[in-house]
Structure 1
Amino acid sequence: KMRDELVQQAVRFLRDKRAQATSHEKRIEFLKSKGCTQEEVDRAIELAKEIDTKNAKAASVIAQVKATKISRFQPSKQYSNAVSMNGIIYTAGQIASNTDGDIVAQSQEVLKKLQDLLEAHQSGMEEILTATVVLANISDAAAFNDVWDSWTRTDHLPARTILEGKLPNENNLVEVAIVARQVR
């Protein structure tokens, strides 16, 4: 019958850095001199390998997480214009610079800014996953949709949300933020 406590002690011994500095044969010889049977030695070796494999996998995952680079584009004092990680780009909400225009003009400017931002960061219109649209006045939704429809392809439509909300400048009529896949 295998003695579990003895096997656990043997596992700790086999995984000890000082013991690992000696040859495999000497470690086995030492365990047998302490009364371990061949079956107990074999089980201890198996368990030590399982632990080492799990630890190596965990270390690999940790290294991958640490290696995951977050890139920030056009950072300002309060936010970055876009952030990418793991092949996904997240944009800040884009608003029109020219606030003299109506909803159509502002929507065209905002969508052009987003298109340029995507292209500058290895993405494109067909890679958009989600869009969040904030309109100063929800009654502008139909006019915004007309511009949106001319800007997007029907075979690559993203998930989209339209909300009514107060925008940073009272003359801004629309703000759009997107999440897209980077492909290039």
Structure 2
Amino acid sequence: MAEEQRLSGAVVAGGMVWLAGQVADDATADAEGQTADILRQIDALLAEAGTDKRALVSCTIVLADIADAPAMNRAWDAWLDTGHKPARMTIQAALVDPAWKVEITGVALAPA
């Protein structure tokens, strides 16, 4: 079954936008590049829901290798609106595709 048939990229429910785990379109990129790609996808999903990254209240970042945290943080810091920082957790876990280095999910406030 194709991934698109299995889940939604984002769901608006209960006044919130719930983001599915997002992974890079380009799995050959390093952790910084994969993170930047994922954050671009998150921007697009939030825009489709009528909001943006300033509405994020929580993000969970999964790294296949925690040693990639500095590279991931470089992309995160370049993207982050420092006036609207979400709560964040970063963990290490195996990802479904060994080429993926980063997966990010989050929850944002939906527009009223």
TM-score between both structures, scaled by the size of structure 1:
0.57
Structure 1 position 162 matched with structure 2 position 111: no
Percent of aligned pairs with the same amino acid: 32
| Inter-partner Cα distance in structure 1 for 2:38 and 2:30 | 12
Aligned to 2:104: 176
* SS state at 2:89 partner: strand
Deviations 1:97-148 (A, max 9, x none): 1111111111110010001100111110100000000001001111111110
Aligned to 1:138: 66
Q: Which structure 1 residue ranges, 5 or more long, are not aligned?
A: 1-74
* SS state at 2:68 partner: helix
Aligned to 1:117: 45
Q: How many residues align?
A: 110
* SS state at 2:88 partner: strand
Amino acid at match of 2:94: K
Q: Whose Rg is larger?
A: 1
1:92 to 15, 20, 36: 20
| Inter-partner Cα distance in structure 1 for 2:38 and 2:15 | 23
2:81 to 153, 165, 171: 153
Q: Which structure 2 residue ranges, 5 or more long, are not aligned?
A: none
| Inter-partner Cα distance in structure 1 for 2:12 and 2:34 | 26
| Inter-partner Cα distance in structure 2 for 1:115 and 1:122 | 10
Higher mean C-alpha displacement, 119-128 vs 77-86: 77-86
Answer 1 or 2: which has greater helix percent: 1
User: Which structure is higher in RCO with an 8 Å CA cutoff and minimum separation 6?
Assistant: 2
Runs of 4+ in 1 over 2 A off after TM superposition: 75-78
Answer 1 or 2: which has greater strand percent: 2
Equivalent residue runs for 1:1-150 within 5 Å: 76-150=4-78
* SS state at 1:179 partner: strand
TM-score between both structures, scaled by the size of structure 2:
0.92
Amino acid at match of 2:66: I
CA-atom RMSD in angstroms: 1.4
Q: CA deviation at 1:182?
A: 1.4
Q: CA deviation at 1:78?
A: 2.4
